[in-house]
Amino acid sequence: MGLVAYEVEGKVAVVTVSNAPVNALSQAVRAGLSEAIERFQSDAEADIAVICGAGRLFLGGADITEFGKPPMSPGLPEVINQIEASTKPVVAAVHGAALGGGLEVAMGAHYRVALAGAKLGVPEVKLGILPGAGGTQRLPRLVGVETALSMITSGAPITAEAGVEAGLIDKLGVGGDARAAGVAYAQELLAGGAAVRPTGAIAPPEAVDFAAVQAKLKAKARGEVAASVAAEAVEAATRLPFAEGLAEERRLFMTLMDTPQRAGLIHAFFAERAVAKLPEIVGVAPRKFGHIGVIGGGTMGAGIATSAALAGLVVTLVEREQAAADTARDTITRNLNAGIKRGKLSEATRDAILSDKLVTTVGYEGLSQADLVIEAVFENMEVKKQVFAELDRVLPAGAILATNTSYLDVDEIAASTSRPADVIGLHFFSPAHIMKLLEVVVAGKTAPDVVATAFALGKRLGKTSVRAGVCDGFIGNRILAHYRTAADHMVLDGASPYQIDKALVEFGFAMGPYQVSDLAGLDIGYMTRQRKLADAHPRDRAPTFADALYHKGWLGQKTGHGYYIYDEGSRVGRKDPEVEEIVAQARADAGVTPRAFTDEEIVRRYMAAMVNEGARVLAEGIAQRPSDIDVVFLAGYGFPRWRGGPMQHGDAQGLESILADIREFAEQDDHYWKSAPLLEQLAREGRSFDSLNKS
């Protein structure tokens, strides 16, 4: 029977789905399940059936690769209705995970057993859809509206244990064998004369204040629609008979299937999985990295050390003086304590880290046993070279020398050592123990097993690692520098920083560029501009208003004042008329007559700049594929996930249209607005960035 096996054991029909790696409910699996249930109906040898999954989990949900393609029969809702309508009882035996359509299959069964630790979830909203195979109607009938809403609108799974408590799971299985647990439970049910028990026959659940639920969801949605529409479907469960509720769920499901948000979120899902696929490390074993060294105990070094210690690695942090080493230890302790508050670790784990895993010390000699050392010292080539000379002297052969620089030339750093093949960039984002993004900067001579180790380390730290080539700013900060300039130009030409932030937050960004400046510190931008001054072109337009704020000591949140004013204890800023005056002065100094911008033009300029520079980064091989750029912006720059990332956004807009925008903007400024040759080529050939992901 192909991907679905049917066997009879005692009076129990065992239906096993084997569709590695995650038992996705592809057309062949749906057809196999349907056939198995039909066979069970007429099988005189079997009085009860158990559905289980082979391999590491029960069922991972619908086959996401089928989305956006013409539907293929039988549909999952029909198969689940068929299971529920069985005249003999059906048991679902869950291990590992039952996700999305997988949990919906389990809810279509009459009884559910799950092994301890199994995860039960309906993550559909994360893909821009809703549980469309009866999930929004069956889950509230089993667990009540409140729990169902929480699971469906967050997409977060619960454990089997919580499932028992909520009424989703009837029995917690023992041992590691779901099939055996399922058969044992089935036999117990048979012995007790258990009958069929369709979830759909349960009376509609009690309603809650859905208007309040919707208001809350919309307030945090940042433009994303799936959770709100999913809550509408749950509401339908409270007021419609089951069959009509299913029909309403289907109608709402189809509206979501047709949104570009669904395409954006599914693009993000696959982009995040593609990012670790590097031809250069296929079959290459990583080196060991159990003992990590960190040079420098500032915010970044301490954050990296926290991240490594939290992942169970041994960490030696080196500072120049004892006082600085002690401060670093305090910072790490504070990071860990904050983690305890957020429920990320226990006090016992913190104590074990501080006593057994973490050494803060002075002098490089403590690194003689280290496997991989990451320096996070001052961003200056000479300082870095001194550090690398010391590392070269003390580290054992085969150790990896990594720099956390955010823009310096990693090739030059590598060339200053006697072992350039062992040198790599590991660009963390601050705070390093929280931010997901890790840019792995591969230099010209970096050995493949060093790259493999960096990716293995990233995985161990729970990071999203993206391969980047060497250039000023790598992938993320290089593109950021470019679109940030587009924003500054708009301010110089008449848009207020507040309007720009508002327009981009409405577009879906976590923050606008001037809010980001305030968070990061205006000194960072100032120093970057100073550093690049020598390379400046006479036609570059300097954001003199930003320099003026810097010189006033308004450095952002840390000084309580930047583009915004931060009242005592507040991280939300309010507008400052004085900043508007400073901006007005900068325009006057530049001889600009200010003009009005619409929010729509702001977004168009910002995004065209981002996509254009993204195309250059691709053409230069700094990023391997367009979807890697998308992942950088989703994981590290607060880009709205439902738009899939900047390159996916470019595709969704149409590259012709982005190019037309750039040409239009170039009519006023043909120095800044030069279209990237790759963008021109793709537009000319009628191709998308996504065509490069696939090639």
Residues annotated as catalytic (active site), given as ranges: 104, 124
Half-sphere exposure of 212 toward its Cβ, with a 13 Å CA cutoff?
4
Q: Rule CB under 6 A: which of 133-152 touch ligand CAA?
A: 133, 135
CA distances to 170, 191, 567, 599, 641 from 497, in Å: 56, 72, 19, 12, 24
| Closer of 135 and 556 to ligand CAA (Cβ) | 135
124 binds ligand CAA (CB under 6 A): yes
Q: What is the SS3 assignment for 518-543? A: HHHCHHHHHHHHHHHHHHCCCCCCCC
Shortest CB 134 distance to ligand CAA, Å: 8
How far apart are the C-alpha atoms of 148 and 143, rounded to whole Å? 6
Interface mask toward ligand CAA for 324-363; x: CB under 6 A: ----------------------------------------
| Closer of 213 and 226 to ligand CAA (Cβ) | 226
| Closer of 89 and 458 to ligand CAA (Cβ) | 458
How far apart are the C-alpha atoms of 106 and 98, rounded to whole Å? 8
Question: Using CB under 6 A, which of the segments 92-100, 202-210, 393-401, 562-570 binds ligand CAA?
Answer: 92-100
Query: Residue 348 corresponds to which amino acid?
Result: A
Shortest CB 329 distance to ligand CAA, Å: 34
| Closer of 60 and 245 to ligand CAA (Cβ) | 60
Applying CB under 6 A, which of residues 4, 14, 92, 97 lies at the interface with ligand CAA? 97
If you search the block for the tokens 């048979």, which residue do you land on? 190
β-pair partners for 15: 6, 51
Shortest CB 100 distance to ligand CAA, Å: 2
Applying CB under 6 A, which of residues 32, 60, 425, 469 lies at the interface with ligand CAA? 60
273 binds ligand CAA (CB under 6 A): yes
271 binds ligand CAA (CB under 6 A): no
β-pair partners for 16: 5, 52
Question: Using CB under 6 A, which of the segments 94-102, 393-401, 479-487, 585-593 binds ligand CAA?
Answer: 94-102
64 binds ligand CAA (CB under 6 A): yes
61 binds ligand CAA (CB under 6 A): yes
Terminal CA-CA length for the chain: 35
63 binds ligand CAA (CB under 6 A): yes
Phi, psi of 426 (to 5 degrees): -125, 95
| Closer of 57 and 516 to ligand CAA (Cβ) | 57
| Closer of 127 and 503 to ligand CAA (Cβ) | 127
| Closer of 100 and 286 to ligand CAA (Cβ) | 100
Interface mask toward ligand CAA for 24-53; x: CB under 6 A: x-----------------------------
How far apart are the C-alpha atoms of 368 and 271, rounded to whole Å? 39
DSSP state of 357: I
As a whole number of angstroms, the longest Cα–Cα distance in the chain is 91
| Closer of 113 and 226 to ligand CAA (Cβ) | 226
- 3-state class of 197 per DSSP? coil
Question: Using CB under 6 A, which of the segments 127-135, 345-353, 370-378, 387-395 binds ligand CAA?
Answer: 127-135
Applying CB under 6 A, which of residues 62, 94, 490, 608 lies at the interface with ligand CAA? 62
DSSP state of 157: -
76 binds ligand CAA (CB under 6 A): yes
Applying CB under 6 A, which of residues 89, 123, 205, 573 lies at the interface with ligand CAA? 123
Element holding 460 (H helix, E strand): helix 448-460
Question: Using CB under 6 A, which of the segments 41-49, 132-140, 290-298, 319-327 binds ligand CAA?
Answer: 132-140
Question: Using CB under 6 A, which of the segments 98-106, 209-217, 508-516, 545-553 binds ligand CAA?
Answer: 98-106
Q: Are strands 437-441 and 158-159 parallel, antiparallel or unpaired?
A: unpaired
157 binds ligand CAA (CB under 6 A): no
Contact 260, 616 (CB under 8 A): no
Measured CA angle at 34 (ends 32, 39), to 5 deg:
95
β-pair partners for 292: 315, 372
Shortest CB 265 distance to ligand CAA, Å: 10
Shortest CB 97 distance to ligand CAA, Å: 6
How far apart are the C-alpha atoms of 49 and 69, rounded to whole Å? 32
CA 279 to chain centre: 23
Q: Quick one: the chain helix, strand, coil %, rounded to 5?
A: 55, 15, 35
513 binds ligand CAA (CB under 6 A): no
- 3-state class of 192 per DSSP? coil
| Closer of 51 and 450 to ligand CAA (Cβ) | 51
Applying CB under 6 A, which of residues 53, 101, 163, 198 lies at the interface with ligand CAA? 101
Question: Using CB under 6 A, which of the segments 17-25, 201-209, 461-469, 670-678 binds ligand CAA?
Answer: 17-25
132 binds ligand CAA (CB under 6 A): yes
Measured CA angle at 275 (ends 270, 280), to 5 deg:
135
100 binds ligand CAA (CB under 6 A): yes
- 3-state class of 168 per DSSP? coil
Phi, psi of 500 (to 5 degrees): -65, -45
Q: How many beta carbons lie within 10 A of that of residue 81, not counting itself?
A: 17
Question: Using CB under 6 A, which of the segments 31-39, 123-131, 204-212, 537-545 binds ligand CAA?
Answer: 123-131
Applying CB under 6 A, which of residues 53, 128, 131, 420 lies at the interface with ligand CAA? 131
- 3-state class of 568 per DSSP? coil
- CA neighbor of 512 nearest in space, from 642, 611, 639: 639
| Closer of 62 and 358 to ligand CAA (Cβ) | 62
Q: How many residues does this entry show for the chain? A: 695
Binding site for ligand CAA (CB under 6 A): 21-22, 24, 60-65, 76, 97, 99-101, 104, 123-124, 127, 129, 131-133, 135, 273
